[in-house]
Structure 1
Amino acid sequence: MKWKAQNIFLNVVYDDKYVLVINKTSNLVVHPANKNMNNTIFNSLLYNYPYLRDVPRAGIIHRLDKNTTGLMIIAKNIDVYMFLKNELKKHNIIREYEAIVNGIIKKNDIINYPIKRIYKKKNIYMDVHPLGKKAITKYFIKNIFKNYTHLRIQLKTGRTHQIRVHLSYIKHSIVGDPVYNKYQNIFLINNFYKKSINKIIQRQALHACYLKFIHPFYKINIKLYSKLPNDINNLIYFLKNNDI
């Protein structure tokens, strides 16, 4: 199949001969799939870096969900791609996130439950399952509001939807998550706050804020940070200033 190159803006935060790191925006799919064959980061990479046609997945090392924002790594040649994929497999690439979750979490902890892919009405759905693949998520408390918690999260593995699935499983789903929200509504105090929060953020409040990896050529540590986007900052401001 001949993939389409499309002129879609990429917010580049690091760029050299070997590696590209972008700060992904919300409402942007990473790779073409059945429902989204165009207007993806993949299509944009083919336009902005045409030689990436010769690299698997246009050099994309790891994905973010359509409505998760933050940092992503792209390899610029096949050798760099293989190196970084191997580093990812060995858990040598540090990926950290920030999230606002429903309910109060009182201590830092580790979630260690296997995750399995389940198909529901042609959509991909992940769930904790004893026959699933190993999945480990560490989380640290940044701030506690009356009925919500601001977390810093570190992935030890990289399963599809891992953070969202794990937090939902421990009954602290991410605010605004449209899929993994089994216990979300029990924390909403009244319709005013529900409507206010829904107006502030129309997606899961999840952001990939930090990356650390060994540069494949220079062999130095690359550390990159991304500030929280406006919608999550606005949500934090609202929760701080409303006694809910």
Structure 2
Amino acid sequence: MTVGEPEDDNERHLSVEIPPELDGKRLDVACAQLFDQYSRSRLQAWIEAGRLCVDGIVTTRPRLPVAAGQRLVLDAEPEPDSTVQAQPIALTIVYADRDLVVIDKPAGLTVHPGAGQRDGTLQNALLHHFPQTAALPRAGIVHRLDKDTSGLMVVALTLKAHARLVAALQARAVHREYDALVQGELIAGGRIEAPIGRHPRDRLRMAVVDHGGREAVTHYRIEERFRQFTRLRVRLETGRTHQIRVHLAHLRHPIVGDPVYGRAVRGSGLAAPLREALHAFRRQALHARALEFIHPGHGKPMRWDAEPPADMQALYALLRAHAAFV
């Protein structure tokens, strides 16, 4: 196990064993990797406050070397994040129980506050609809979608569910499928394996890079063929920032409407209504349509599906009509 998981008797207490690769590392360094749902500064503060045991003994020394096989138990007392305020923002809730909630996020909704947006985010909405998420890292958000990507997201409602979902994501045991409309006519599906890192010249973009990138693997198959365009079903094996958008642009089939990695639609030979609709589509035509994982509470496999939103459905209808006309 690579992520601290709550012990059954007390959800506050996270327990994990030091793996061989962390043998000899400083305690705070090991904790930063094993309890990575929390910031390093928070973990250091908890260690210094005596809220961490190593093999049953409390230690307040962040620099203490650890050994493989030692058991760490962290008293991760929930601490509400007062910097993000609850806001009554409407959400489409697909499923909810005591452990988690699955949301169909609309395009245009930012997942969590950042330098460019302090409120009006999914995190603000979660704090309103599910007040218990105030005690969880990032209000229970364990993965994200880009602002203008629509679709399914899972959010943890308890510390135990949060730890187990983070672990499942790291183990690539959360299966995510996307609907993508791309430029060009692909003839077959395939697999893209190309490392992704920061663009060497534009630090606001990601790119396929030769050196220093992180492993990234994307699978795709043809869902529907149109004239000059293709609808794809895309499955993530890894989850890097902008991964699908970067990989499809690298394949020279960028996602329609992508303002960062796409290109202008030329519109040669397209019917006027379709050409106008494509030019007016101001977001990437990308939708997270399926989500599947083992439930962190009862342990049964769960799957949810959500059809693409109205704006993408309208494009598909116009493309079908154009193909039938020509």
Alignment check: 8 A CA contact 1:7 1:44 kept: yes
AA at the equivalent of 1:231: D
Q: Secondary structure at the match of 1:63?
A: coil
Q: Secondary structure at the match of 1:36?
A: coil
Unaligned runs of at least 5 residues, structure 2 = 1-81
Deviations 1:112-142 (A, max 9, x none): 0000023877x62110002210000000101
RMSD: 1.7
Q: Secondary structure at the match of 1:153?
A: strand
1:241 equivalent in structure 2: 321
Deviations 1:210-229 (A, max 9, x none): 01010011100111000111
The question of 1:24 aligning with 2:105 is answered yes
Give the Cα separation in 2 of the matches to 1:186 and 1:14. 37
Identity %: 38
The question of 1:196 aligning with 2:277 is answered yes
Question: Kindly tell me: are residues 47 and 120 of structure 1, through their superposed partners in 2, closer, same or farther at Cα, counting changes over 3 Å?
Answer: farther
Spell out the pairing of 1:146-225 with structure 2 (5 A cutoff).
146-181=227-262, 184-185=263-264, 188-189=267-268, 192=272, 193-199=274-280, 201-225=281-305
Q: Secondary structure at the match of 1:73?
A: strand
Give the TM-score of the pair, scaled to structure 2.
0.71
AA at the equivalent of 2:145: L
Q: Secondary structure at the match of 1:65?
A: coil
Give the TM-score of the pair, scaled to structure 1.
0.93
Alignment match of 1:74 (pick from 131, 155, 162): 155
Give the Cα separation in 1 of the matches to 2:303 and 2:294. 9
AA at the equivalent of 1:3: V
Shift of the alpha carbon at 1:79?
A: 1.3
Deviations 1:75-99 (A, max 9, x none): 0111111100010011100000001
Give the Cα separation in 2 of the matches to 1:33 and 1:66. 12
Alignment check: 8 A CA contact 1:207 1:228 kept: yes
Question: Kindly tell me: are residues 215 and 173 of structure 1, through their superposed partners in 2, closer, same or farther at Cα, counting changes over 3 Å?
Answer: same
Deviations 1:42-98 (A, max 9, x none): 011111111211111110111001110000000011111110001001110000000
Give the Cα separation in 2 of the matches to 1:185 and 1:207. 20
Alignment check: 8 A CA contact 2:152 2:290 kept: yes
1:84 equivalent in structure 2: 165
Higher RCO, 1 vs 2 (CA within 8 Å, ≥6 residues apart): 1
Alignment check: 8 A CA contact 1:115 1:135 kept: yes
Alignment check: 8 A CA contact 1:102 1:187 kept: no
2:182 equivalent in structure 1: 101
The question of 1:58 aligning with 2:126 is answered no
Question: Kindly tell me: are residues 169 and 204 of structure 1, through their superposed partners in 2, closer, same or farther at Cα, counting changes over 3 Å?
Answer: same
Unaligned runs of at least 5 residues, structure 1 = none
Alignment check: 8 A CA contact 2:108 2:147 kept: yes
2:130 equivalent in structure 1: 49
Shift of the alpha carbon at 1:202?
A: 2.4
2:309 equivalent in structure 1: 229
Alignment check: 8 A CA contact 1:147 1:187 kept: no
Aligned pairs, how many?
240
Alignment check: 8 A CA contact 2:142 2:154 kept: yes
Give the Cα separation in 1 of the matches to 2:266 and 2:172. 34
Alignment check: 8 A CA contact 1:32 1:42 kept: yes
